[in-house]
């Protein structure tokens, strides 16, 4: 190695690590691109698709893709943001529940397609 690591400060070592990690990431992308190029050439040479060679592991067609779950929750601040309730909650849900004390029920999509919102309190 060109540098004597014992001569470097902590900051210089961290910079070296950061640059090395960035180069690893770039090299990995380059390797993947080259592999895709070679695989595509072999597939084209034989006139087959990846899905034919490895059924279920190649490119998915829309018919083979899993159907999307219908949304169960909608962000009232941005109606384009929806969530099915499956998997990790999107940021807007997590922030509303954690930081603003909202409940998931507030974001439920009613049959009308609008979020449920807050229910009026019953008075005695």
> Facing residues of 75 across strands?
78
Secondary structure string (H, E, C) spanning 40-76: HHHHHHHCCCHHHHCCCCCCCCCCCCCCCCCCCEEEC
Q: pLDDT digits over 60-90, tens only?
A: 555 556 667 888 999 888 888 898 988 888 9
* Whole-prediction pTM: 0.40
In the block, tokens 């999307």 appear at 68
Between the CA of residue 62 and those of 65, 82, 86, what are the distances in Å? Answer: 5, 21, 21
For position 87, what pLDDT does the model report?
87
Residue 6 confidence (pLDDT) above 60: yes
């Amino acid at each position: 190695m060109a540098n004597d690591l014992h001569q470097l400060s902590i900051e210089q070592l961290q910079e070296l690590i950061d640059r090395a990690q960035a180069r690893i990431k770039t090299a990995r992308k380059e390797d993947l691109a080259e592999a895709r190029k070679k695989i595509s050439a072999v597939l084209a040479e034989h006139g087959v698709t990846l899905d034919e060679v490895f059924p279920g592991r190649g490119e998915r067609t829309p018919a083979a893709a899993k159907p999307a779950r219908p949304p169960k929750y909608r962000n009232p601040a941005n109606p384009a943001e929806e969530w099915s309730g499956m998997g990790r909650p999107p940021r807007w849900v997590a922030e509303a529940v954690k930081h603003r004390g909202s409940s998931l029920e507030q974001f439920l999509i009613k049959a009308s397609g609008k979020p449920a919102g807050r229910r009026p309190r019953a008075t005695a």
